Amino acid sequence: MANQSIARQVLLWQLALVLLLVAAGSGVAVHAVRRSGEQTARERALDVARTLARAPGLAEAATAADPTARLQPIAERIRKENGVDFVVVMSVDGTRFTHPDPTRIGRTFLGHIDAAAQGRTSTETYTGSLGPSVRAVVPVIGPAGRPVALVSVGVTNHRVDALVGQDVPLVLAVAAAALAVACAASMAVHHRLRRQTLGLGPVELRRVYEHHDAVLHAVREGLIVVDSAGLLVLANDEAVRLLALPPAPEGRHVGTLGLDGTLADTLTAGRTVTDEIHLCNTRALAVNISPTGRDDRMVATFRDHTELRALVGELDQVKGFAEALRASAHETGNRLHTIVALIELGRGAEAIRFATGELAAAQDLADELTAAVHEPALAALLFGKHAQAAERGVQLTVTGGPATDHDGPGPLDAFASRFEPRDLVTVLGNLVDNAIDAAVSAPPPRTVRVTVGADPDAADGGLLLRVADSGPGIDEPLAARVFERGWSTKEPYGSQDRGLGLALVRATVARHAGTVDVARGDTGGAVFTVRLPALPAQPTLPDRPALPAQRPGEEA
């Protein structure tokens, strides 16, 4: 039986239980009908006996010289009219005056008559001359108020059985109907359970559950199931980790789980999604959503693309450096040709001055960046951005605040000692890339100014990052939208996602309890200002959840 399906086992157990209950109920019903029949026969016998005992002239007839001649016809008529088996009128000592079998008249009545002889009514089931019967014995009271005769009326068990037999078919019919209904209901449950369990047995179901549970918890891809009402039905361990879900998220609406607004809207939209990138907390997730085909539920899977996008960002940086090196090589070739020509013309001193001047300019730029920015990663980033900006015809200048005017550690050093430099690279790299693009889109002169130093408005010190450009600027109505994921003024480029860079900046700054804002500069361009606290603070998230680290160069 263990190899049978759960649906079949349930059906067999239900049928067995139904048969047992119907049989027990039928037995109880037949027993109740029999008891009811016996009670009816007892009441009928008692009513007939009382009626006859109280009949006028019965006491006088019972005390006459020949009571049988007067009472036998009356007794037989009453017996036949009332459907009883015997009506016996007897003396107080039990001698029969009447009987259905005339040969038994004059003999002693078989049964208990002591109570009736004392003036009381009694009923009993007793085996007499006609067999077992339900009988009643009633005294006939004479003029002196004492019993002068007794009347016994009885119904044999055969007649009771006949009366009960009339009701048994009805009981059996009801039992058969109940059995049929119960069997039909059991079959319906069987078919439904078979569909729901796919006809599997308990061993197979346990194996499927164990495999499902093992895969669900071991797979390195987040998976959630959302019903048609937007309620979370299931989330595996990886989904809880990637989405930073709260404890016991099942049964809650996805809009209350702290997800990014666009991600929550996508999960409840009821549409199929393929490899759509969404930002959630500190991660970039590739989201796939498809319907389950049952109950209008949607299955969503999540893959972490944060590190992949970080690698893509590094690749973009390498490409930028390569382009800068290409431009530098081109310029260096021109300068070498100039130096060689000066030497060939016999102007060696001028050649030396020209060569040393170029070296001094490069060294001055490196010294300037190192003095303005103490963090090596940031200095290297800005050095590369300077070359990219120069190639695109943009003048990039870097200045330091008060904290960088001396040799001691400043806010940047304190911040870099507590956090990974890539956070600063993410913030400043994205802002500078956007600033260069904005400056290129405007008429000359094209400039980008970067300020890194202490925040003069912070009482306890802090880090200030400010990037200003000479571009067209950002209109006031759009200033509140530039940090939204997906918002961008640029056309899509292939499969590259737009509108991630500034959303990433906002998320990174929020994770360190800082602020970022944008305003229009004095010359009309955009000015982005980032303020980061000097001391660790409880992070405050923006209106939408924080976004993952992303490559520099993603733009709004």
Q: Which DSSP state fits 95? A: B
* Helix (H/G/I), strand (E/B), else coil: 287: strand
Residues 283 and 323 in one domain: no
Does residue 214 fall inside a structural domain? no
The gap from C-alpha 46 to its chain's centroid, in whole angstroms, comes to 70
Q: How many CB atoms lie within 10 A of CB 403?
A: 24
Does residue 402 fall inside a structural domain? yes
Please tell me the pTM assigned to this model.
Answer: 0.46
Which of 304, 319, 339 is where one domain is finished?
A: 304
pLDDT of residue 314: 63
Strand boundaries in 170-214, DSSP class E: none
**Helix, strand, coil share (%) of the chain residues, nearest 5:** 50, 20, 30
Segments forming the whole domain that contains residue 401: 309-533
Residues 33 and 93 in one domain: yes
**Amino acid making up residue 297:** R
Does residue 228 fall inside a structural domain? yes
At residue 390 the predicted structure's pLDDT band, cuts being 50, 70 and 90, is: confident
Residues 299 and 315 in one domain: no
At residue 488 the predicted structure's pLDDT band, cuts being 50, 70 and 90, is: low
Residues 29 and 154 in one domain: yes
* Helix (H/G/I), strand (E/B), else coil: 492: coil
pLDDT of residue 541: 42
Give all strands of the β-sheet with 232-235 in edge-to-edge order: 232-235, 222-226, 298-304, 283-291, 273-280
Does residue 553 fall inside a structural domain? no
Domain count along the chain: 3
State the residue for tokens 């007897």.
90
The gap from C-alpha 142 to its chain's centroid, in whole angstroms, comes to 88
Residues 236 and 347 in one domain: no
* Cis preceding-peptide flag for 132 (omega within 30 of 0): no
Which of 251, 275, 304 is where one domain is finished?
A: 304
Mean pLDDT of 82-108: 88
How do residues 214-262 score in pLDDT, each as one tens digit?
777 777 888 889 988 889 988 888 888 888 888 888 889 888 888 877 8
Residues 323 and 291 in one domain: no
Residue 538 has pLDDT above 50, yes or no: no
* Helix (H/G/I), strand (E/B), else coil: 103: helix
State which of 26-35, 373-382, 411-420 shows the largest mean pLDDT: 26-35
Residues 361 and 293 in one domain: no
Q: What is the CATH number of the domain that holds 317?
A: 3.30.565.10
State the residue for tokens 């737009």.
498
Q: What angle do CA 151, 156, 159 make, to 5 degrees?
A: 125
Mean pLDDT of 346-354: 78
Residues 147 and 268 in one domain: no
Q: Is 389 left (phi over 0), alpha (psi -120 to 50) or beta?
A: alpha
How do residues 525-537 score in pLDDT, each as one tens digit?
889 998 888 755 4
Does residue 546 fall inside a structural domain? no
Q: What is the CATH number of the domain that holds 278?
A: 3.30.450.20
Residue 11 has pLDDT above 50, yes or no: yes
Does residue 539 fall inside a structural domain? no
How do residues 149-180 score in pLDDT, each as one tens digit?
999 998 887 877 776 666 677 777 887 888 88
Of 296-300, 436-440, 468-472, 493-497, the one with minimum mean pLDDT is 493-497
pLDDT of residue 211: 73
Which of 164, 195, 229 is where one domain is finished?
A: 164
Residues 23 and 155 in one domain: yes
Q: Which DSSP state fits 246? A: P
Residues 431 and 504 in one domain: yes
| Gap between the Cα atoms of 353 and 129, Å rounded | 154
Q: Look over the chain and give the mean of its residue pLDDT values, rounded to a whole number.
A: 77
Sequence-ordered alpha helix ranges (H) in 134-156: none
Q: What residues contact residue 381 under an 8 Å CB cut-off, 6+ apart?
A: 317, 425, 428, 429, 432, 552
Percent of the residues in the chain that have a pLDDT greater than 70, as a whole number: 76
Residues 440 and 377 in one domain: yes
End-to-end CA distance of the chain: 66
Does residue 195 fall inside a structural domain? no
Residues 295 and 425 in one domain: no
